[in-house]
Structure 1
Amino acid sequence: MERNLQIKELFLKKFDKPVTELKFKNLYELIVCVMLSAQCTDKRVNLITPNLFKAYPDIKSLANANLSSLKSYIQSCSFFNNKAQNLIKMAKAVCENFNGEIPLNEKDLKSLAGVGQKTAHVVLIEWCGANFMAVDTHVFRVSHRLNLSKAKTPEATEEDLTRIFKDNLNYLHQAMVLFGRYTCKAKKPLCKECFLSHLCTSKDKEI
Structure 2
Amino acid sequence: MNTDQLIDRLSQSVPPVPRHAVRWRLLIGLLFGSIVTVAMIASGLGFRPDLSLAMHGFSFWMKWAYTGSLSLCAIAATVQLSRPDARPMHWLWVMAVPVIGLAAICGVELARAPVAQWLPMWLGHSWDVCSSIVFLLSLPIFGGLLWSFRRLAPTRLRAAGATAGLTAGAWSATLYCLHCPEVTAIFVLTWYTLGIALAALLGALIGPRLLRW
Superposition TM-score tier, normalisation by shorter sequence: under 0.3
- Structure with greater contact order relative to length (CA < 8 Å, sep ≥ 6): 2
Q: Which has the higher helix share?
A: 2
